[in-house]
């Protein structure tokens, strides 16, 4: 990322994002990932913390409202994975999901979370990384919330083929095409206008060469279904019925494959990025601490029903 690009992104930061303790954590193979730690002011010694891992192409403003609300109750560590524009990668850095999930265990130890009680909250591709870690016992959260986890990485077959022959230096020229594709075929712009707007901004701010490499490495290749029966950790799996990107019927099947999982449908993608998610996290941590009942399966089609 060049200096001009850094200055441009810095100007876009909100005051809340600037309030975080920002650090670049080096993982095993020498690459560095940006972590934003939002420290709760009145934190107690045994308080539960949150490791937050967003999905592919996600920019911080997409989750800012949720992180800000969570921060009233928890210290939140927001982790940006390798394909993000913020990462500092070596020339031959891998972007293969079957390898980069190990980054999280490095970050857990650097943050000292391996000696604390914490939960993970992850979305889409971030969920892929959590599933890999839980199946191999590389992370030690007391519970995890998965939002539309990416157990498989599905793309139209022509996409990785096209990217193989399309030069990396020309990737920025594809941004208008990607924006059109997302708004036309991926996101229901009428039912989820905020999601469509955020995806448009995400594409505008994306590191296109990294995205190209990520798609080539993972599209229609990554499959984590075999990992699900190995996971015994307590999990809440969140779906959104109207979300075309993270389909609820697929999420329901993932939930059924996990032995200690509760399935919650928040109805819309917007609800999954808003207050209902925060309230669910509080309910979940109360359960995990033994001061509240077990979270039960339910459909929540609006915030008013929550």
Angle (deg, nearest 10), helices 60-70 and 275-288: 50
Q: Which is nearest to 192 in space by CA: 243, 231, 238? A: 243
Q: What pLDDT is stored for residue 8 in this prediction?
A: 65
- The low-confidence residues of the chain, meaning pLDDT below 50, are 246, 301-306
- Are the C-beta atoms of 74 and 34 separated by less than 8 Å? no
Q: Which is nearest to 19 in space by CA: 58, 75, 57, 73? A: 75
Q: What pLDDT is stored for residue 248 in this prediction?
A: 60
State pLDDT tens for residues 258-287. 999 999 998 887 878 888 999 999 999 999
Q: Where are the domains of the chain?
A: 3-153+222-305
Q: Determine if residue 220 is left, alpha or beta; phi over 0 gives left, psi from -120 to 50 gives alpha, anything else beta.
A: left
pTM: 0.88
Burial of 91 (0-12, 13-18, 19+ CB in 10 A): exposed
Q: What pLDDT is stored for residue 43 in this prediction?
A: 72
For 213, the token pair is 């490499």
Residue 61 has φ and ψ, to the nearest 5°, of -55, -25
Number of H helices, E strands in the chain: 12, 9
Count other Cβ atoms within 10 Å, centred on residue 219: 17
Residue partners of 284: CB distance under 8 A and separation at least 6: 119, 143, 145, 236, 295
Q: Which is nearest to 138 in space by CA: 116, 117, 108, 100? A: 108
Determine the length of the chain. Answer: 306
The listed CATH number (3.40.50.1820, 3.30.1540.10, 3.40.50.300, 3.30.1180.20) that belongs to domain 3-153+222-305: 3.40.50.1820
From CA 304, how far away is CA 306, in angstroms rounded? 5
Q: What pLDDT is stored for residue 174 in this prediction?
A: 83
Q: What pLDDT is stored for residue 65 in this prediction?
A: 93
- Are the C-beta atoms of 208 and 232 separated by less than 8 Å? no
What three-state secondary structure class fits 119? strand
Place of tokens 């609820």: 248
- Are the C-beta atoms of 80 and 129 separated by less than 8 Å? no
From CA 24, how far away is CA 122, in angstroms rounded? 20
- Are the C-beta atoms of 85 and 8 separated by less than 8 Å? no
Give the H or E element holding residue 125: helix 125-135
Q: What pLDDT is stored for residue 176 in this prediction?
A: 83
Q: What pLDDT is stored for residue 180 in this prediction?
A: 79
For 171, the token pair is 């990737």
């Amino acid at each position: 990322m060049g200096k001009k690009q850094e200055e441009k992104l810095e100007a876009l930061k909100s005051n809340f994002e600037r309030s975080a303790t920002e650090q670049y954590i080096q993982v095993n193979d020498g690459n560095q990932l940006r972590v934003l730690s939002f420290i709760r002011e009145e934190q107690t010694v045994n308080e539960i913390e949150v490791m937050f891992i967003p999905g592919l192409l996600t920019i911080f403003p997409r989750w800012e409202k949720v992180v800000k609300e969570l921060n009233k109750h928890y210290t939140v560590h927001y982790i940006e994975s390798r394909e993000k524009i913020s990462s500092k990668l070596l020339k031959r850095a891998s972007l293969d999901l079957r390898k980069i999930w190990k980054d999280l265990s490095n970050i857990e130890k650097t943050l000292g979370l391996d000696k604390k009680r914490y939960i993970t909250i992850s979305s889409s591709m971030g969920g892929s990384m959590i599933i890999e870690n839980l199946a191999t016992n590389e992370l030690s959260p007391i519970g995890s919330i998965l939002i539309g986890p990416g157990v498989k990485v599905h793309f139209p077959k022509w996409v990785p083929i096209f990217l193989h022959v399309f030069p990396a230096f020309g990737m920025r020229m594809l941004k208008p095409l990607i924006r059109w594709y997302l708004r036309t075929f991926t996101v229901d712009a009428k039912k989820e206008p905020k999601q469509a707007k955020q995806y448009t901004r995400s594409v505008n701010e994306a590191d296109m060469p990294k995205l190209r490499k990520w798609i080539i490495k993972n599209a229609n290749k990554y499959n984590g279904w075999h990992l699900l029966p190995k996971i015994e950790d307590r999990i809440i799996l969140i779906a959104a019925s109207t979300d075309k990107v993270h389909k609820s019927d697929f999420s329901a099947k993932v939930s059924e494959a996990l032995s200690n999982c509760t399935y919650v449908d928040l109805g819309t993608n917007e609800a999954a990025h808003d207050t209902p998610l925060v309230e669910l996290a509080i309910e979940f941590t109360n359960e995990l601490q033994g001061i509240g009942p077990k979270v039960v399966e339910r459909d929540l089609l609006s915030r008013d029903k929550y």
